[in-house]
Structure 1
């Protein structure tokens, strides 16, 4: 199985993030707001929209 890159990667400074699928699209077209916690791997992915939230300076931050 190959790793498919997430549709969007967002760098954050907090271990706790919220995602509602909004942003570049109309928030009404998003999903229910969920609160996610970045784990020891340095990132977390939203189960609804697959956005990946990466902790700045963490193990998953590739500085690219």
Structure 2
């Protein structure tokens, strides 16, 4: 049985972030812009990466 790894989580310093699914510029997805709201995080609808605002309500470092 293969286990699917959890989506990646990135802690960032800006409330607006771009995601293209691949930091290396290879086989990602179309670039989308995400806005972090009052909950302190935003999830990419393409790759499920989670972006958490540093110091916000969802930052549990």
- With the length of structure 2 as denominator, give the TM-score of the two structures: 0.86
Unmatched 5+ stretches in structure 1: none
Hey, what does 1:8 align to over in structure 2? 8
Computed over aligned residues only, the root mean square deviation of the Cα atoms, in angstroms, reads 1.5
After TM superposition, the runs of 4+ consecutive aligned structure 1 residues lying more than 3 A away are none
For these two proteins, the number of residue pairs brought into alignment is 57
Unmatched 5+ stretches in structure 2: none
**What is the SS of the residue equivalent to 1:29?**
coil
Report if the CA contact (8 A) 1:20-1:33 is conserved: yes
The one-character-per-residue Cα deviations of 1:21-63 (angstroms, maximum 9, x if unpaired) are 012xx53310000000001000000000000000000000001
Distance, in Å, in 1 between the alignment partners of 2:58 and 2:11 is 10
